[in-house]
Amino acid sequence: MKLRISSEQLSDQTPGLLVLLYEGTTPMFNLPAKAFKTLQGREQFEALTGDQEVWSFRSGQQAVLYLSTSQVKYFTREEKLKTLASRALKAAAKYKLSAIQVPLSITEMLAPLAEGFLISAYKFDKYKSAKKERPTPEVTFSVPGGDAKALTRTLARAQVIAEGVNFARDLVNEPAEAIYPETLAQAATEMAKKVGLEVQVLDEKALAKGKFGGVLGVGKGAARPPRLIVLRYRPKARGGVHLGLVGKAVAFDTGGISIKPSSKLWEMKSDMAGGAAVLGAMMTIARLKPDIRITAVVPSVINAVGPLAILPGDIIASRSGKTVHVDNTDAEGRLILMDALDYVQDEGATHVVDAATLTGSIVRALGTSYTGAFANDQALVNRLISVGKEVGEEIWQMPLADEYRQQLDHPIADMDNVGKGPNGGSITAALFLREFIRDGSRWVHLDIAGTSMADKAWKYFAPGATGVGVRTFAALAESLAAEGANIKKG
Ligand code: BES
Ligand code: ZN
Ligand code: ZN
């Protein structure tokens, strides 16, 4: 989708959809009164709007759409504007207008608007035999007297962020037949080459050599072998912080021998959303170039039912040496993450953040708008919550309740892979992961089971993958890099 800045004043002859944005009833634009006499005026807006968008058709080629932040319930100011951008795009499509004009006087709002357009323009229609011919409209922000160069940089930055988000969404929306460990590794490799990241893929032989018992154990049941994808971002000047990003990439989760019920089972093609978020974030980070060292580790398997599938009662030796009894083969995410977390710390990560569609329990606790966070370091989780809010990805901290740790004790292995009883499952899952975090490592686990897929249109997202985590991780990298720079300055 093309976005541009124009320093020219709009005229009421400009064709396309003219989008007039209001914050409440205050215009966010400044149009010459003369030319736009018929469009001006707060009274007119108030009288006409209520909660509805107001249209005025000026010809077949021209229409005016009034949008106000008061038409969007909930959410931050930025999120409201992103949502309004998506409405403008829908309106242009509905009336087959191929250009959108947005006069804007409040330029801090350019970034969220641009992001709203770019994220809402995303389509996953490659499997439709009849493609919609209509191209995505071009959006022109008219900012007379603005610093066009700086504003164009703002657009470029929004592009880089949205491309990371949409890259992750593509990976998640693809069925498991298309995206499985080897093809995910291929996609990661191609992306890494394009943006200039180091890439390493461990195949089943390398995984055996590296004693990745969890990844191999869960991967055994599928004809498609597992992979572990490693991406390294090493800027020239670096400080002491080394960020490790780890993402669960179960290309499909049947539950294994502890098989899942079939209702909505197709959704388990998205059980690699944590891995996709890490890959999308690395794509964005490589282009934004924050000054911080980052290593990304994405373990990928298919949790299948097969003659060699891991069996309940089996005992796995993890990479760390701890042994794990597999009570339930559907608690597979933690079994691949335990090895990846161990590996990323061997690589020298000081700050580790993982993202995983880990539990149904977090969906019951927080629903689909909040990602759950579990942390051994309050400063790091505070930072994640705060950058998450800024970028529009809400995070809620959950307790790592020590008291529940005993639920993971097991008579014949070091640990069991599930807690006891039906409750608190997202907490015992996080406590399980914590067993693989070493003293001194700062760590946050994000359970994105509820937030990775939208089952209906939500904010500026179409139904399907949301790419959750990409924007938060990119913002975290920038935030840690900025702090490092401050520390260096003294
Ligand atoms: N991938 C699922 C979790 C999930 C559920 C993701 C719903 C997205 C939507 C995970 O592997 C799983 O099956 N977890 C089990 C763990 C249980 C067996 C202890 C769960 O949460 O039910
Ligand atoms: Zn599972
Ligand atoms: Zn899973």
**H or E element in which residue 344 lies:** helix 333-346
Q: What is the pLDDT of residue 9?
A: 87
Give tens-digit pLDDT for 262-284: 999 999 999 999 999 999 999 99
User: Quick check: CB of 328 below 6 Å from ligand 1?
Assistant: yes
| Cβ atoms of 157 and 278 closer than 8 Å | no
Q: Which residues are catalytic?
A: 260, 334
State the average pLDDT over residues 123-129: 95
Which pLDDT band, with edges at 50, 70 and 90, does 401 fall under? Answer: very high
**β-sheet bridge partners, residue 228:** 202, 299
Which pLDDT band, with edges at 50, 70 and 90, does 10 fall under? Answer: confident
Q: What is the pLDDT of residue 238?
A: 63
CB neighbour list of residue 229: distance below 8 Å, 6 or more residues apart? 184, 185, 188, 199, 200, 201, 202, 249, 275, 279, 296, 297, 298, 299, 300
Which ligand 1 atom lies nearest to the CA of residue 271?
1
Give tens-digit pLDDT for 299-354: 999 999 999 999 999 999 999 999 999 999 999 999 999 999 999 999 999 999 99
Which ligand 1 atom lies nearest to the CA of residue 418?
19
Least confident range from 78-92, 233-247, 250-264: namely: 233-247
Give tens-digit pLDDT for 415-473: 999 999 899 999 999 999 999 999 999 999 999 999 999 999 999 999 999 999 999 99
For tokens 């069925």, name the residue: 175
**Which residue puts its alpha carbon closest to atom 5 of ligand 1?**
360
Residue 373 has pLDDT above 70, yes or no: yes
Q: CB count, 10 Å around CB of 422?
A: 7
User: Quick check: CB of 253 below 6 Å from ligand 1?
Assistant: yes
> DSSP assignment of 173-216, as one string?
HS-TTTSSHHHHHHHHHHHHHHHT-EEEEE-HHHHHHTT-HHHH
Q: What is the pLDDT of residue 47?
A: 42
Which ligand 1 atom lies nearest to the CA of residue 328?
18
Q: What is the pLDDT of residue 34?
A: 64
Residue 51 has pLDDT above 90, yes or no: no
State the average pLDDT over residues 6-35: 85
Question: What is the CA(163)–ligand 3 centre distance, in A?
Answer: 26
Q: What is the pLDDT of residue 45?
A: 47
Supply 333's token pair: 């995410």
Which pLDDT band, with edges at 50, 70 and 90, does 50 fall under? Answer: low
Residue 490 has pLDDT above 70, yes or no: no
| Residue (of 130, 126, 215) closest to 175 by Cα position | 126
Instruction: Provide, rounded to the nearest whole percent, the portion of the chain with pLDDT above 90.
Output: 84
Question: What is the CA(358)–ligand 1 centre distance, in A?
Answer: 6
User: Quick check: CB of 78 below 6 Å from ligand 1?
Assistant: no
425 CB-contact burial (10 Å; exposed 0-12 / middle 13-18 / buried 19+): buried
CB neighbour list of residue 248: distance below 8 Å, 6 or more residues apart? 271, 272, 273, 274, 275, 299, 333, 336, 337, 354, 355, 356, 357, 358
Amino acid at 378: Q
The whole-angstrom separation of Cα 465 and Cα 413 is 37
User: What does DSSP say about strands 249-253 and 293-303: parallel, antiparallel, or unpaired?
Assistant: parallel
Q: What is the pLDDT of residue 207?
A: 99
Question: What is the CA(255)–ligand 1 centre distance, in A?
Answer: 8
User: Quick check: CB of 170 below 6 Å from ligand 1?
Assistant: no
Give tens-digit pLDDT for 63-77: 888 899 999 999 999
pTM for the structure as a whole: 0.97
Question: What is the CA(248)–ligand 3 centre distance, in A?
Answer: 8
User: What does DSSP say about strands 54-59 and 323-325: parallel, antiparallel, or unpaired?
Assistant: unpaired
**Which residue puts its alpha carbon closest to atom 3 of ligand 1?**
359
